[in-house]
Chains A and B, each alone.
Chain A
Amino acid sequence: MTASVTSTERLQRLLALVPYVVSRKSVGLAETAAAFGVSERELVDDLNLLWCVELRAPDPYCPIDLSYEGGEIVVSQAESMGRPLRLAVDEASALLVALRMLAEVPGLKDRSALSRLIAKLEAAAGEAASASAQVAVQVDIPDEGAEAYAAQIRTAITAGRRLHLRYYVPGRDEATERDVDPMRLHIVEGRPYLEGWCLRAEAMRLFRLDRVLGLDVLDVPAAPPEQAQPVDVDQGLFRPSPDDVPVVLELSAAGRWVAEYYPCESVSDLEDGRLRVVLRTPDTGWVRRLALRLGEDGRVVSPSSLVAEVREGATAALANYVV
């Protein structure tokens, strides 16, 4: 990390370091290093640098006096650096946009804290807060049902209780019944998801709240096993496994949305705005349905078994229309 830190980034840290200590009267080296994400050695370098600042005119003097004897930092003279620099536009915007997004999260109990905090930050940021009004994030609350489910899920997480879910799987057009030990409520790509240990799949699963058909908080304590580790949603919601089937699709210009909507392993342009995409999936059932939906705007190229299934599906469906 240190290697890539620029002079201005380090300056930013130094400007924050003095008030950090001043506002706490005295604070430990280890704790401070952790708070700033640096090693104790780097922190000591920072402190020495601050202590060495010297102004030469009109009379030479050292504006900052501090010590860190016995591992406790004390700033005895901070001059005009006792307060942190005001928030920059990007900084104020990052927090305010995030907070306004949180305000839309279904089932949130801390709404009053949220609005108080937004007001305080807006006041503290002053003018720097105004650009944040030009960024908006909308969280999709599918319907009143999902809002209620989100509240139930949060209750279950707090109380450590197991859930029973009726959950719709569109790719198989199936309503599934399962018990889930809930762990977190995610908001990813603007949608709420329940993350938990699914006892039926014996694996961690993410459930979209708009596909929950019914939900009960059971009178059973949640007991996720050791291997129930949180899903790293920052790596993407769908991570193909090497065992998944690669599916090659060709899309017309009107079918390009598929590449935006589904995670593709590769996307390459063909002539006339057509696309060739490769997706990996453990279950090709939904791709068969997708191909029916796309009609002439999409064509499965491989695997050949899926090509045949799509044709069978279309033939069977068309037979229903022969009067």
Chain B
Amino acid sequence: MSKRKTERLLGLVVCLLSTRRYLSADQIRAAVPGYPEQDDLFKRMFERDKEDLRELGVPLETGLNHPFDDDPGYRIRQQVYELPELRLETDEAAVLGLAARVWRRAELAGAAAGALLKLRAAGIDAGSLDGSDERPSAQGIEPRLGTPEPAFGPLWEAVRDRRPVTFSYRAAGRSDPQRRELEPWGVVNRHGRWYVAGRDRGRDATRVFRLGRIAGPVKFCGPAGSVTVPDGTDVRELVRDWDSVPAPEHTAVLRVRAGAGIGLRRHAGSVRADTEAGMAGWDLVTTRFADVGWFADYAAWFGPDVVVLDPPDLREAVIRRLKGVLA
């Protein structure tokens, strides 16, 4: 950290905020202490300072005071710089404190803390500044969003700045990763996992990718602002459709050992004791299911406590799994 640089940047902000006219680079050099005499050194330093301020979100404006001016000048318009007036009721401030804790230790934790800092500076008293308050939240709720996927950071930036990206992706059940080029439209967290939806350039189609299956780095492959999100796009819906479970249209008849298969019985259509000879201690359970593969997995989980009687393809699928174990 350089104190001199902080002082210079602060001087620059104050100087540009207090002017209505655009100030030329030379006028700025004269007003703000800390800039070097040499022109090329000044130029380089001033360029970097402008970049730093823009990154902080300081709305630096460039313009001409007069159409015949040669060089552009700079200013910061106060009404664009300032956070608008904002008053919160007590209950709203309490919820704000809770929201700031959501990202704790995740990708946007710093951004949430920065936002809270500004709101506090506007006179609002919310929860703790950095969300690291160890006291349980007043509402007894602890919501958390995690971003363990390394791809989250670059993809959020890409979505925010509308930039296309490229990455290598290992689709479910595939042995080798493939290169993908994507125009990202949004990121969605579903069932605790992050997804990105957008237009896959290679396939020229809308696609959804799970961030956890991205192998290696995400790289930008085009300038900011070059991605257009089609009107009416609902990324949440795209991810939901991609991930959705079909309606349970089939019926399974199962023989379930009494006292066992509790998970199955919770969603059963009917349960009755098996009255067939030699089947004492077993129940007959009917339940709806959507997908043979998925439901066979589930039935196999219960091992010797669940036997599929019908339909035959489901019965065969379970037998195949069990034989696979012994193979």
- CB of A8 within 8 A of CB of B129, answer no
**A195 — which chain B residues lie within 8 A by C-beta?**
142
* Centre residue among A56, A92, A98, A157 by max chain B CB count within 10 A: A98
Assembled-state Cα–Cα distance A323/B134 (Å): 61
A7 at the interface (CB under 8 A from B): yes
- The reply to whether A292 and B57 form a contact with Cβ atoms under 8 Å apart is no
Interface residues of A in 176-194 (CB under 8 A from B): 183-191
- The reply to whether the CB of B130 lies closer than 8 angstroms to some CB of chain A is yes
- CB <8 Å contact, B159 and A135: yes
**Of A238-246, A276-284, A311-319, which stretch is located at the interface?**
A311-319
Question: Looking across the interface, which residue of chain B has its beta carbon closest to that of A3?
Answer: B1
Report yes or no: A136 in contact with B236, Cβ–Cβ below 8 A: yes
A264 interface hit (Cβ, 8 Å): no
The reply to whether A7 and B95 form a contact with Cβ atoms under 8 Å apart is no
A24 interface hit (Cβ, 8 Å): yes
- Interface of chain A, main secondary structure: helix
Cα distance, A291 to B239, chains bound together (Å):
29
Contact A36 B307 (CB under 8 A): no
Closest to A8 in B: B52
Tell whether B221 is near chain A: CB-to-CB under 8 Å.
no
Q: For residue B112, which residues in chain A have a CB less than 8 angstroms away from its CB?
A: 91, 94-95, 98
Tell yes or no: A101 within 8 A of B by CB: yes
- Interface residues in B235-286 by Cβ distance below 8 A to A read 235-236, 239-240, 255, 260-263, 266
The answer to whether A114 touches B307, judged by C-beta atoms less than 8 angstroms apart, is: no
Instruction: Assess the A173–B260 pair: CB atoms within 8 A.
Output: yes
CB distance B159 to A134 under 8 Å? Answer: yes
Q: Which residues of B contact A174 (CB under 8 A)?
A: 262
Closest Cβ neighbor of B185 among chain A residues? A134
- Asked, given contacts A50-B10, A92-B115, A131-B159, whether A108 binds B141 with beta carbons under 8 Å apart, the answer is yes
Contact partner of B144 (CB less than 8 A), chosen from A81, A131, A187, A320, is: A187
Contact between chains at A56 and B33 (CB < 8 Å): yes
B186 within 8 A of A: yes
Q: Does A273 reach chain B (CB closer than 8 Å)?
A: yes
What's the tally of chain A residues with a CB closer than 8 Å to chain B?
A: 128
Name the CB-closest residue of A to B15. Answer: A55
Please provide the chain B residues from 193 to 227 with a CB less than 8 Å away from any CB of chain A in the complex: 193, 212-213
A35 beta carbon closer than 8 Å to chain B? yes
| CB atoms of A318 and B319 under 8 A apart | yes
A223 interfacial contact with B, CB 8 Å: no
A43 within 8 A of partner (CB): no
Chain A residues with CB under 8 A of B327: 296
Of the candidates B9, B102, B304, the one whose C-beta lies within 8 Å of that of A98 is: B102
Give chain A residues whose Cβ lies under 8 Å from the Cβ of B33.
Answer: 54, 56
How far is it, in angstroms, between the C-alpha of A57 and the C-alpha of B101 when the chains are bound? 45
Q: Given A98-B99, A293-B301: A56 and B129 within 8 A (CB)?
A: no
* Per-residue interface assignment for chain A, residues 142 to 186, with 1 indicating a CB less than 8 Å from any chain B CB and 0 otherwise: 000000000000100110000000001010011100000001111
Contact B6 A10 (CB under 8 A): yes
Question: In the complex, A35→B120 CA distance in Å?
Answer: 8
Q: Which residues of A contact B98 (CB under 8 A)?
A: 102
A65 within 8 A of B: no
The interface residues of chain A lying within 8 Å CB-to-CB of B139 are 108, 110, 154
- Closest-by-CB residue of B relative to A83 is B82
Q: Provide the bound-state CA to CA distance between A9 and B142, in Å.
A: 28
Q: Is B65 an interface residue (CB 8 A)?
A: no
Pick the contact of B1: A10, A64, A131, A168 (CB < 8 A): A10
Q: Is A53 in the interface zone, CB < 8 Å from B? A: yes
Residues A88 and B56 in contact, CB atoms below 8 Å apart:
yes
- B121–A23 touching, CB < 8 Å: yes
| Separation of A170 and B262 alpha carbons in the complex (Å) | 8
Given A79-B17, A170-B301, A289-B303, 6 more contacts at CB 8 Å?
Answer: A7-B1, A112-B91, A133-B186, A154-B139, A170-B263, A173-B260
Binding site for B on A (CB under 8 A): 2-3, 5-20, 23-24, 35-37, 49-50, 52-58, 63-64, 79-81, 83-95, 97-99, 101-102, 105, 108, 110, 112-114, 116-117, 120-121, 123-124, 126, 128, 131, 133-138, 140, 154, 157-158, 168, 170, 173-175, 183-191, 195, 213, 230, 233-234, 253-254, 256-257, 260, 272-274, 288-297, 310-311, 313-321
Can you give 10 contacting A-B residue pairs, CB < 8 Å?
A: A11-B52, A16-B118, A20-B121, A55-B32, A63-B18, A87-B115, A90-B160, A102-B99, A184-B142, A292-B321
